[in-house]
Structure 1
Amino acid sequence: AGRLRMEHLPDFSGMTYGVLAKRLLTKQAVVLSDANPSYNAIQPHVERHQPSKTDPKKAAKALPWVHIAISNAKRVFLGIYHSISDCWLQCYLNEFCFKFNRRFERHISVNQLFTVIATNQLH
């Protein structure tokens, strides 16, 4: 699995996905997604968008790390926080992504932590 980034979205509209793609993706990006029509708004902002209609029973095999990351985040949120308000959700997502992206590092030094914070690479 590569690096993970999660963002709390106000809705699932094409306009929201288009704005997000423009802000986060490079023009050289290749995006794999399911066939939700809202994802079509990503196309103008990337080199290639590959939508794929997948049987729901086989979805976990098509994009396994997406499903693993989402289910792990849900478990963490339900197990530790019990209840999360919308105003704090993005902070919790950032924390989860920070830990997920560094899951193979044994420790993180204070220096590394300050570098991450200073360069806003929390995801």
Structure 2
Amino acid sequence: MKQRKISAGMVLAYLLLMACTKKQAEEFKPEAPETPGAKVSYAAVIDPIFKARCNGCHSAGRSGSVAWTFSGLSSVTADADRIKNAVLVKKSMPLGGSLSATDLQSIKDWFDQGMQP
């Protein structure tokens, strides 16, 4: 019985890790600013990044929604400190993938600019 629980736990962990893939991130190209520090628009730059790289795991009902649920600008600004820490400091998100240097710079610039819509 104990062996079955261990096996089931391992299978569940594997499935959760495989649910968030790098392929999600390969399907879009946000409108990144030409130069670092340029004005970053949430609608044109940040929202497409979060939709492609966060929404797959952090949308309502998905495994990552336990930690944070992505539902647009208000959800990002409400949890800004945790997101900055996971994405920009620890670089632990997205799970099982990575963000390009351009995406990371755009996100950093947007946070630094006061997270304007």
Q: TM-score, normalised by structure 1?
A: 0.24
Q: Which has the higher helix share?
A: 2
User: Which structure has more RCO (C-alpha within 8 Å, separation ≥ 6)?
Assistant: 2
Higher normalized strand content (fraction of residues): 1
TM-score w.r.t. structure 2 length? 0.25
